[in-house]
């Protein structure tokens, strides 16, 4: 006597199980893939967000007004160190920026404006840092340095704050 296999709508139970397993497997694969991609995207954003925050802090330190009368050699050294730190952070920003992609048009526009401002300001910052590091410090050299660096840093800080607002960091 042959065993009779149960059927539903004329389809054997084993085929129903195989179909259900296939459907559930596809759904779980899609969910897992989306979750992994989302986490990967968050991991890529982390270094860029950190670089933007560090850049903002460094720019604010460079913008702080300094007056020659208040400056001894320690203060001049602090100005040079702040400018060196800013240049190092700009390099870190460039690296983090190369890894970062966004699909938000407002964030992209803000980041693009910051990139353009950095590109425009970098040569001036490098020149001023070189002058401050090599020339004996006279009041006129110091005053010009502070004016040039502060104005360039202010423009970059404006764009950096815009990026931070668009990324909801502030």
Q: What is the pLDDT of residue 57?
A: 86
Which CATH fold would you assign to the domain 49-166? 1.20.120
Given pLDDT bands bounded at 50, 70 and 90, which one contains residue 21? confident
The answer to whether the beta carbons of residues 150 and 65 sit under 8 Å apart is yes
- Bridge partners, 131 (sequence order): none
| R_g of the chain, CA atoms, integer Å | 29
Other C-beta atoms within 10 Å of 146: how many? 21
What is the residue extent of each domain of the chain? Answer: 49-166
For 40, 42, 58, 101, the CA distances from 33, given in Å and listed in that order, are 10, 14, 38, 19
Q: Which residues make Cβ contacts (< 8 Å) with residue 97, sequence separation at least 6? A: 48, 51, 111, 115
Instruction: Identify the sign of the CA torsion 133, 134, 138, 141.
Output: negative
What mean pLDDT is predicted for residues 57-71?
Answer: 72
Question: Which residue reads 């007056």 in tokens?
Answer: 67
Task: Write down the pTM of the prediction.
Answer: 0.65
The predicted pLDDT at position 116 comes to 92
Flag whether pLDDT at 88 surpasses 80: yes
Average pLDDT on 136-165 reads 82
Rounded distance between C-alpha atoms, residue 154 and residue 160, angstroms: 10
The per-residue pLDDT of the chain, averaged, comes to: 82
Return d(Cα 7, Cα 62) in angstroms, integer.
78
Q: How far is residue 20's CA from residue 83's CA, in Å, rounded to a whole number? A: 64
Q: Is the pLDDT of residue 67 over 70?
A: no
């Amino acid at each position: 006597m042959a065993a009779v296999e149960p059927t539903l709508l004329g389809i054997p139970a084993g085929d129903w199980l195989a179909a259900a397993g296939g459907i559930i497997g596809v759904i779980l694969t899609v969910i897992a893939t989306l979750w992994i991609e989302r986490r990967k995207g968050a991991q890529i954003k982390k270094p860029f967000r950190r670089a933007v925050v560090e850049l903002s802090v460094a720019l604010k330190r460079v913008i702080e007004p300094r007056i020659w009368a208040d400056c001894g050699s320690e203060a001049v050294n602090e100005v040079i160190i702040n400018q060196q730190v800013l240049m190092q952070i700009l390099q870190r920003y460039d690296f983090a920026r190369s890894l970062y992609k966004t699909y938000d048009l407002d964030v992209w526009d803000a980041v693009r404006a910051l990139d353009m401002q950095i590109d425009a300001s970098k040569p001036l910052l490098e020149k001023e840092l070189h002058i401050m590091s090599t020339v004996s410090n006279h009041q006129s050299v110091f005053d010009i340095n502070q004016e040039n660096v502060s104005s360039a840093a202010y423009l970059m800080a404006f764009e950096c704050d815009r990026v931070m607002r668009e990324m909801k960091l502030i």
